[in-house]
Amino acid sequence: MAEVDSCDLMRELDGLGEADPRMRFLCVLDDAGSRPITQQDRWKSVAQLALQPNVPDVILVHYDTARNLYLHAWYVYRFHVVAEQQVLSTLEFALRSRLQELRHVDVSAKHKPGLSSLLQSALDHGLISNERLTTQQQWAQAMADRRKGVEQIQYMLDHQLASMQTSAVPELATAEELEHDWVASFIKELPSIRNQYAHGSPTTHATVLRTFEIVKELINQLYEPGLARSSTSD
């Protein structure tokens, strides 16, 4: 059996304020090139992922608990996945609360709908949609950049190249990428991630801000001004 890393165990009192050693392996790219990430970088990133003012306070607090967990992952690396689990729980909480408020969910039902069913119900009632995603263009660009990277790796393998020069010009997103059905992807993928954590998992990684971004987008859509009137009129 492999020896447990000491930074995964309970910390000694005098080390509570020290950064997790694994944080030194994370970097950011800026105008000066690559440099080690700082807690200020992380705070700026997660501070941008705020809910809009008309989201109820009870959901805001639930969401900001996840953001605080993300910040404290600076000290305990495994808090990254705890933060991701919390933010997905916030999405389920917001969906159930909003659908109950608009009487689209039977609160007396014996078997409560799960995250997948709640997302589908929100889509069916017009509470969430691809058209109202504010980051749809950026996500399509990221998809195009990933495609370009895979194509370059395959080219190198096919031609037995150790390296190759690439263009700094961003890859153009295809029509398919620009019209991707993001909500359908979320309905399929988010419950799977949440269930993995809910049933116990050794998974640990730091790349959780994309999940925060998705949850922020969907919750903000749920509580767009005037949406309740249009939703209850069907």
Residues 4-23 pLDDT 10s: 788 889 989 999 999 999 99
Q: Is the pLDDT of residue 145 over 90?
A: no
Q: Where are the domains of the chain?
A: 6-130+191-231, 136-180
State the average pLDDT over residues 42-49.
Answer: 98
| pLDDT computed for residue 20 by the predictor | 96
Between the CA of residue 163 and those of 113, 151, 167, what are the distances in Å?
50, 14, 13
Q: Is the pLDDT of residue 228 over 60?
A: no
Q: Is the pLDDT of residue 229 over 70?
A: no
Asked if 190 and 87 touch (Cβ cutoff 8 Å), the reply is: no
Neighbours of 89 (CB within 10 A): 19
Residue 87 CA to residue 65 CA, distance in Å, equals 8
Cα angle: 104, vertex 228, 94; to 5 degrees: 60
At 30, the pLDDT band (50, 70, 90 cuts) reads: confident
CA atoms within 13 A on the CB side of 78: 11
Q: Is the pLDDT of residue 158 over 90?
A: no
State the average pLDDT over residues 171-195.
Answer: 93
